[in-house]
Amino acid sequence: MKRAIDHINIEEHPKKTRRQILFADMISGLVLLLFLYTSISKLTDNELFKNVLTASPLLKPYAGIISWLIPSIEIAIAILLFIPRFRIKGLIASVILITLFTIYLLYMVAFTPNLPCSCGGVIKLLTWPQHIAFNVFFVFLSLTGIILYRRPKSLESSSPP
């Protein structure tokens, strides 16, 4: 019998487990909100996003591709987070992507702190350290979501067939 969070019907679970799944769903919603908001912001003002990317010596040669690739990946992750059966995959992808963003931010802080942020929407108003803290918070949030989704699975597998 296939046991996966994808097919969990929360009504079949004890109250505590149900709360965990609902909490994980809320986390998925928050991460979805973040990705959807920033991706739409980047797409609606793609020329500005590309301009800012070209100001970065690291990204300048690839600015044209990156200006479309990043929002596309973010929308793909948002779709994964929207569909319950793909939410773990969406959260794992978000951890990877936000970690990559954070590595880039650390590079920017270290080498070119005066450059503008190529982030979407109001997030670009954050300072570099604030942005790094923001990213770390969302990485931990996503990891918490992954753990919460996996826990009901382990509870299921420990129950008698």
Partner 1 sequence: MLRYLSGIAATIIAISLVAFTSPDKKPLSTFTFHYTPATYTQPLVQTNSNWVSGSQLCGGTANKACQMEVTDTYTHLDANNNRVLNTTGNVIVIKAKTGANGTDYVPDPSTSTGISSPVDKP
Enumerate binding residues for partner 1 (CB under 8 A).
10, 21, 25-26, 28-30, 32-33, 36-37, 40-41, 44-45, 48, 50-52, 54, 60-61, 63-64, 81-84, 121-122
Q: What is the number of helices (H) and of strands (E) in the chain?
A: 5, 0
**Distance between the two ends of the chain, CA-based, in angstroms?**
9
Q: Give residue 160's region: left, alpha or beta (phi > 0; psi -120 to 50).
A: beta
Pick 106 or 112: Cβ nearer partner 1: 112
Question: Which structure tokens are listed for 18?
Answer: 């149900």
Please, what is the minimum distance in Å from the beta carbon of residue 160 to partner 1?
Answer: 26
Kindly tell me which of 80 and 95 has the beta carbon lying closer to partner 1.
80
Q: How far is the CB of 86 from partner 1 (least distance, A)?
A: 11
Q: How far is residue 14's CA from residue 1's CA, in Å, rounded to a whole number?
A: 20
Q: Least distance from C-beta 157 to partner 1, angstroms?
A: 21
E runs forming strands in the chain = none
Closer by beta carbon to partner 1, 106 or else 127: 127
Nearer to partner 1, 2 or 161 (CB): 2
Nearer to partner 1, 12 or 160 (CB): 12
- C-alpha angle 117/130/22, rounded to 5°? 105
Please answer whether residues 120 and 52 qualify as being in contact, where contact means their C-beta atoms are separated by less than 8 angstroms.
Answer: no
Distance CA 68, CA 130 (A): 25
> Please, what is the minimum distance in Å from the beta carbon of residue 8 to partner 1?
9
User: Least distance from C-beta 75 to partner 1, angstroms?
Assistant: 11
